[in-house]
Chain A
Amino acid sequence: MKVIEKVNQMREELEKELASATSSKEVSEIRVKYLGKKGLVTELTANMKELSPEEKREVGSLSNQAKEEFSKKMEEEEKRWKEKELYQKLTSEKIDVTLPAFEMVQGSPHILEKLTEELEELLMSMGYDVVEGPEVEKDLYNFELLNLPKGHPARDAQDTFYTKGEELLLRSQTSPVQIRTMLQNEEKTPIRMICPGKTYRRDDDDATHSHQFTQMEGLLIDKNISLADLKGTFDIIAKKLFGSARQTRFRPSFYPFTEPSVELDISCFNCDGKGCPICKGTGWITVGGAGMVHYKVLENGGYDPKEWTGFAFGFGMERLAMLKYNVTDVRTFYTNDLRVVKPFDRKEVE
């Protein structure tokens, strides 16, 4: 049989064998059978010595070609099997992706802290510093210097926890931080500050009253400030907290430390001003109080009212949170049921 025929026959057999192979291991065995040291292709050149130089050349060339061809074929086949086997192996490792994940544990901010920080960020971007002050406060700062002398009937509305005589008390508002800031600013330069913090009044705790609550007051002192500037500032705050569709309005009011004084109302976010139980049918919800800083307070803070003007505003954070998140019981903020707290570990909707 001619070498070429042998090769052809060998190719045929090889193809058959490869076709019936069932694993990369079998392909590898076939490779040894054909291309191994004692393999069939090698055998083609077994009796080369007996051949003529021409024949030698032909056999050599044919066997080399066969080697190359078969090798390539088997490599491909082996690769195909290996891929298939790997795939099988991997698919056998299939997991149930619906099983629960490993929970990445992350704590939540307190609701009031979250809301406070939201306002702080906004107001800091508008140039307001965030300042704190003592909760055990002097009557002087809590009342006296804020145009609330002893015996003033408006002190009734903020019946206060005194801790020592008539001198020391648990502050009933965060306004003392404002007067402290004014007094401390010796250069008497413009002021923009907010003072969030805990405050205390003699209220029996129930769904809507709390002896401890949180205020955020703001103070701006500058030249030629008007109620319109307060309106613009309140607009921004109201829209940030309750959505850009909110309208705002001022209602005349009374605070001893501001004149004129106003109530800060927003159009009801529930009914959009049509009237509903949340806004008690009025279409408006009161969210805070404000006004132009009273000249006596400016004087007490060392600012000449002839030269300086300013506005102050105040919000009850519990009230804002109750409105914003539809909380119906103020005590919720102080019982700290973790099932209530945890959902507040969330980015706010812009």
Chain B
Amino acid sequence: MAISMNWIKDYVDYGDADLKDVANRVTKAGINVEKVESHYIPHLVIGEVVECTPHPDSDHLHVCQVSIGQETLQIVCGASNVRVGIKVIVALPGALLPPDVVIQKSTIRGVESNGMLCALYELGFAEKTKEAYDRGIEEVDASIPVGLDACRALGYDDTLFELDLNPNRSDCNNHIPFSYEVAAVLGKKVTLPSTETHPIKDSVKDSLQVKVETSNCSMYLARMVKDIVIGPSPDFIKHRLEASGMRSINNVVDISNYVMLEYGQPLHFFDADKLGGTILVRMAKDQEEITTLDGKARVLREEDIVITDGEKPVCIAGVMGGANSGIDENTKTIVIESAIFDPYHVRYTSIHHELRSEASLRYEKGLTFEYCQYAMERACHLLEKYASGKVLSDCIVHDKTDKTKKQVSFTLEEINQILGMELTVEDVNRSLDGLGFVYQVAKDVYQVEIPTRRTDVAPNKADLAEEIGRLYGYDHIEATLPTTVSKPGRYIGDVSYRKAVSRRLRSLGLNEVRTYTLISEEEDATFQYARQDAISLLRPMSSDKKVIRQTLLPSLLKVLDYNLARHVKDVCIYEMANVYFNEQEEDTKLAILMHGSLDPVTWQNKNRKVDFYLLKGIIENIFHYLGLQNRYSFASCEIPDFHPGIAANILLDRQVVGVIGKVHPNLAKDAYVLEISLKKLISSKVKPIKFKEVSKYPSVKKDLAFVTSKEVSSQTIQDEIKKAGGRLLTDIQVFDVYEGEHVGKEEKSIAYSLTFQDATKTLTDEEVMNIFHHIIERVEDRLPAKVRDK
């Protein structure tokens, strides 16, 4: 779809304006011209073959003398149709032909040749088909004088604008609406094309009845044209349709497309003889059938608007006509439909039937009654002129369109306030004049009427400010800043907490990653440790993005795989993301995955290899950082998709807040993961940091080891030690864990280093030993544990 600037010239006399400059100015005013493409080729002239003799050294070449007015050139030509008397297109030396051929003086088999006689396809003005090739060089109309610039004389001097429009201005895909934009930036006026007809006396009402039974058709106009003669279109129509990306079919079909490309109002032509005497517009009946012009049978729904002949559908309104009522080479009388249908219905009908046509695209955007009327008259005019049609005197009108004038009032100051500019009355007047808006102004107060063709402009100040501003040019804005004093901005809600945790994790060596919220059903079936109702997409685009995740762990495994496949072996990553379940419930998860080592292997061999305890250390570090020490614990348990022996719930204040462990070897090798609910962490209250004096008195260290069953957890022993140790026991460290020949097969030995200290005095040996023995007694008493090497 492109705009033909030759065509635009019919409506706006832009004279010799540089079209690249016009494109820039229109673009600056908000109608984005993406590409300017000139078809004009310099150095092509009209010539006449005055002499044509066979080439002495070839069986198919001819040596021609070609008159181009002032002079006669010798040109060697290989076309079979070259002969004396025909007028041709001559490419002179220097002409640049597509794709990249420069014509030069040359010698062809010993004979001088000063140019080239051209076929249209060689100039890029027609498709290169076998038919075109066989036809040889183009023979131009004998009435065109020799020596003229061939592109201009033949109408191949067009410049096309390719547009990339904002959705509210798709009307500019049509030539008349676009010409208003050209006129606006150039300060010119738009001249609308002729709609003059010479109607015959017959009335359409004698042979056609129109009835509209649905409110989804706000306007329906019908006129009739008799005695039309189907034939080829005139060249200018052909060229313009081609420029706009449409093929020429015949004069009548072309006229309906031509008028649509002028106004943006699609028309439909019925063969009156096939249609019969009735048009009834209504909603389709469920399961009603129609065969459309493309030969396909379609089953309609109650949401589709149809045109019927009183009984059966003859057209899907705004989308495509029926095969039973269309124009063919024998058509004599046609009924012209120019109508407005409800945009949403047309849109959904065209989507449902997968029939998005040039017409439906225009209906979808909404049309105006004004152009609906003009287009009808224009079509009649053209049919009379180019298809020998006889236009019947009247028009059947169904019109329920709203004709309330869109008026708006504003002051100069209000416009300047919105734009931040200092426009004068003259500036505003110039913009409004350019746009063709009718207005009155008295003492800076404007009364403006918005033309009906501008459906995108609503009657309010802001819309007018935009129209005025875009034409005047936003580059005139002098940048300022809002002047109100403002308090400093801050993170609202959980953001800063999350960022603090994030920074801490990075300082510990973990890399932040970001993965997709949508996962596959297979991924969703993994790590279902705290399963809620999943949210799935109603219409997923692909099976791998179907469900909104409740856990980040499958996504982190994917990142691991991606890196391992690229030989990145040390993968220590985390992600924080929202998860959703039960329709709209939200949680924020922190997930960590560790694999390989935390630091790279060094020649000193001091790197930290990833294992459960390293990961545990990371999360404990986070807990401590958040002030949650002494409030968390880890409880061994089996968790889906975790290694059954290396997995635990993470508890905070005895509530499960997450999971930690090794991924089941079926899913990944040597990957350790954890996932925790950040919302639960954030919601736990923490006391502020308190200064604590260091004891002036020395501490005493005592070591001891217990031999116990493998089933007894270190935590259990430690809890007992703590209880027995009381307040003087200030620290417990595990410094050795042993399993092997020196203990029983189902046993292990855990060695603890205990620190005792009093804030008020130096502890005596006796005091320490008393507590120490009490600890041993209590542990041995309460647990299946024996102190080692007593």
List residues of chain A with CB under 8 Å of any chain B CB.
99-100, 102-103, 105-110, 112-113, 117, 120, 123-132, 134-136, 138, 151, 153-154, 156-157, 161-165, 168, 170, 190, 192-193, 198, 200, 202, 204, 211-212, 220, 222-233, 235-236, 248-254, 259-262, 292, 294-295, 309, 333-339, 341-342, 345
Please report the C-alpha to C-alpha distance between residue A126 and residue B482 in the assembled complex, in whole angstroms.
Answer: 10
Please report the C-alpha to C-alpha distance between residue A192 and residue B486 in the assembled complex, in whole angstroms.
Answer: 9
Within 8 A of A (CB), among B563-590: 563, 566, 568, 570-574, 577-578, 580, 583-584, 586
Q: Are B484 and A211 in contact (CB under 8 A)?
A: no
Q: Are B469 and A260 in contact (CB under 8 A)?
A: yes
Stretch at the interface among B212-220, B511-519, B719-727, B765-773: B511-519
For the complex, is B603 an interface residue (Cβ under 8 Å from A)? yes
For the complex, is B421 an interface residue (Cβ under 8 Å from A)? yes
Q: Are A227 and B477 in contact (CB under 8 A)?
A: yes
Given contacts A130-B495, A227-B419, A259-B462, contact A124 B474 (CB under 8 A): no
Q: Are A109 and B506 in contact (CB under 8 A)?
A: yes
For the complex, is B509 an interface residue (Cβ under 8 Å from A)? yes
A206 to chain B, nearest CB (A): 13
- Counting residue pairs across A and B whose Cβ atoms lie within 8 Å, the total is 262
Stretch at the interface among B143-151, B164-172, B186-194: B164-172
For the complex, is B344 an interface residue (Cβ under 8 Å from A)? yes
Q: Are B509 and A105 in contact (CB under 8 A)?
A: yes
Please report the C-alpha to C-alpha distance between residue A112 and residue B502 in the assembled complex, in whole angstroms.
Answer: 14
The residue that B602 contacts in the complex, of A100, A134, A252, with Cβ under 8 A, is A100
Given contacts A228-B420, A334-B514, contact A135 B545 (CB under 8 A): no
For the complex, is B689 an interface residue (Cβ under 8 Å from A)? no
B570 to chain A, nearest CB (A): 8
For the complex, is B541 an interface residue (Cβ under 8 Å from A)? yes
The residue that A106 contacts in the complex, of B417, B478, B490, B507, with Cβ under 8 A, is B507
Chain A neighbourhood of B101, CB < 8 A: none
For the complex, is B714 an interface residue (Cβ under 8 Å from A)? no
Chain A neighbourhood of B491, CB < 8 A: 120, 124, 129-130
Beyond the given pairs A102-B599, A229-B482, 5 more chain A to chain B contacts, judged by CB atoms under 8 angstroms and listed by A's residue number, are: A107-B508, A130-B490, A134-B586, A259-B463, A336-B562
Please report the C-alpha to C-alpha distance between residue A233 and residue B505 in the assembled complex, in whole angstroms.
Answer: 34
For the complex, is B538 an interface residue (Cβ under 8 Å from A)? yes
Please report the C-alpha to C-alpha distance between residue A19 and residue B460 in the assembled complex, in whole angstroms.
Answer: 107
For the complex, is B480 an interface residue (Cβ under 8 Å from A)? yes
Q: Are A260 and B466 in contact (CB under 8 A)?
A: yes
Q: Are B484 and A190 in contact (CB under 8 A)?
A: yes
List residues of chain B with CB under 8 Å of any chain A CB.
27-30, 32, 166-169, 343-344, 347, 364-365, 417-421, 456, 460, 462-463, 465-466, 469-470, 474-475, 477-482, 484, 486-495, 499, 502, 505-518, 535-541, 545, 548, 559, 562-563, 566, 568, 570-574, 577-578, 580, 583-584, 586, 598-600, 602-604, 606
Q: Are A204 and B541 in contact (CB under 8 A)?
A: yes
Enumerate 29 A-B pairs (CB-CB under 8 Å) in ascending A order: A103-B599, A127-B488, A127-B489, A131-B492, A131-B493, A134-B580, A136-B535, A136-B586, A151-B343, A164-B583, A168-B584, A170-B548, A193-B492, A225-B482, A226-B420, A228-B420, A228-B480, A229-B481, A250-B474, A252-B29, A254-B166, A254-B168, A254-B456, A260-B419, A292-B462, A292-B465, A295-B462, A334-B515, A339-B568
The residue that B563 contacts in the complex, of A123, A127, A337, with Cβ under 8 A, is A337
A39 to chain B, nearest CB (A): 47
Given contacts A108-B506, A338-B563, contact A251 B28 (CB under 8 A): yes
Please report the C-alpha to C-alpha distance between residue A236 and residue B480 in the assembled complex, in whole angstroms.
Answer: 11
The residue that A162 contacts in the complex, of B515, B539, B541, with Cβ under 8 A, is B539
Q: Are A107 and B480 in contact (CB under 8 A)?
A: no
Closest CB pairs A-B (n = 9): A228-B420, A252-B30, A127-B486, A226-B420, A260-B466, A124-B489, A254-B166, A105-B509, A107-B506
Given contacts A136-B535, A204-B541, A252-B466, contact A228 B477 (CB under 8 A): yes
Please report the C-alpha to C-alpha distance between residue A338 and residue B514 in the assembled complex, in whole angstroms.
Answer: 12
Q: Are A231 and B513 in contact (CB under 8 A)?
A: no
Please report the C-alpha to C-alpha distance between residue A185 and residue B419 in the assembled complex, in whole angstroms.
Answer: 27
Chain B neighbourhood of A236, CB < 8 A: 481
Interface of A is mostly: mixed
Select from chain A the residue with minimum beta-carbon distance to B457: A259
Q: Are B470 and A227 in contact (CB under 8 A)?
A: no
Chain A neighbourhood of B602, CB < 8 A: 100, 102-103
Q: Are B30 and A125 in contact (CB under 8 A)?
A: no
Given contacts A253-B30, A254-B168, A338-B573, contact A212 B516 (CB under 8 A): yes
The residue that A211 contacts in the complex, of B365, B493, B545, B572, with Cβ under 8 A, is B545
Select from chain A the residue with minimum beta-carbon distance to B581: A136
Q: Are B512 and A109 in contact (CB under 8 A)?
A: yes
The residue that B511 contacts in the complex, of A157, A248, A342, with Cβ under 8 A, is A342
Q: Are B538 and A126 in contact (CB under 8 A)?
A: no
Please report the C-alpha to C-alpha distance between residue A339 and residue B563 in the assembled complex, in whole angstroms.
Answer: 9
Q: Are B474 and A252 in contact (CB under 8 A)?
A: yes
Chain B neighbourhood of A198, CB < 8 A: 517, 577-578
A278 to chain B, nearest CB (A): 17
B638 to chain A, nearest CB (A): 30
Select from chain B the residue with minimum beta-carbon distance to A252: B30
B503 to chain A, nearest CB (A): 8
Given contacts A163-B535, A163-B538, A250-B474, contact A132 B493 (CB under 8 A): yes
Please report the C-alpha to C-alpha distance between residue A229 and residue B347 in the assembled complex, in whole angstroms.
Answer: 39
Please report the C-alpha to C-alpha distance between residue A227 and residue B478 in the assembled complex, in whole angstroms.
Answer: 9
The residue that B538 contacts in the complex, of A162, A337, A338, with Cβ under 8 A, is A162
Chain B neighbourhood of A151, CB < 8 A: 343-344, 347
The residue that A105 contacts in the complex, of B460, B477, B599, with Cβ under 8 A, is B599
Chain A neighbourhood of B462, CB < 8 A: 259-260, 292, 294-295
Select from chain B the residue with minimum beta-carbon distance to A223: B484
Q: Are A227 and B512 in contact (CB under 8 A)?
A: no
B458 to chain A, nearest CB (A): 8
Q: Are B492 and A200 in contact (CB under 8 A)?
A: no
Residue of A103, A198, A249, A338 with most partner-chain B CB within 10 A: A338
Chain B neighbourhood of A164, CB < 8 A: 535, 538, 583
Q: Are B167 and A254 in contact (CB under 8 A)?
A: yes
Select from chain A the residue with minimum beta-carbon distance to B482: A229
Given contacts A108-B512, A338-B568, A345-B506, contact A130 B489 (CB under 8 A): yes
Chain A neighbourhood of B418, CB < 8 A: 226-227, 260, 292, 309
Select from chain A the residue with minimum beta-carbon distance to B462: A259
A111 to chain B, nearest CB (A): 9
Q: Are B512 and A335 in contact (CB under 8 A)?
A: no
Q: Are A252 and B470 in contact (CB under 8 A)?
A: yes
The residue that A102 contacts in the complex, of B166, B537, B559, B606, with Cβ under 8 A, is B606
The residue that A339 contacts in the complex, of B466, B566, B577, with Cβ under 8 A, is B566
Q: Are A228 and B502 in contact (CB under 8 A)?
A: no
Please report the C-alpha to C-alpha distance between residue A229 and residue B469 in the assembled complex, in whole angstroms.
Answer: 15
Q: Are A336 and B541 in contact (CB under 8 A)?
A: no
Chain B neighbourhood of A153, CB < 8 A: 167, 343, 347, 364-365
Q: Are B479 and A231 in contact (CB under 8 A)?
A: yes
Q: Are A108 and B466 in contact (CB under 8 A)?
A: no
Select from chain A the residue with minimum beta-carbon distance to B469: A260
Please report the C-alpha to C-alpha distance between residue A134 and residue B494 in the assembled complex, in whole angstroms.
Answer: 13
Residue of A105, A107, A134, A338 with most partner-chain B CB within 10 A: A107
Please report the C-alpha to C-alpha distance between residue A304 and residue B411 in the assembled complex, in whole angstroms.
Answer: 19
The residue that A224 contacts in the complex, of B417, B419, B478, B566, with Cβ under 8 A, is B417
Q: Are B507 and A130 in contact (CB under 8 A)?
A: no
Select from chain B the residue with minimum beta-carbon distance to A202: B541
Residue of B479, B507, B510, B548 with most partner-chain A CB within 10 A: B479
The residue that B474 contacts in the complex, of A156, A193, A200, A262, with Cβ under 8 A, is A262
Please report the C-alpha to C-alpha distance between residue A128 and residue B507 in the assembled complex, in whole angstroms.
Answer: 28
B108 to chain A, nearest CB (A): 39
Chain B neighbourhood of A339, CB < 8 A: 566, 568
Q: Are A333 and B514 in contact (CB under 8 A)?
A: yes
Chain A neighbourhood of B456, CB < 8 A: 254
Given contacts A200-B517, A231-B477, A336-B514, contact A163 B563 (CB under 8 A): no
B779 to chain A, nearest CB (A): 38
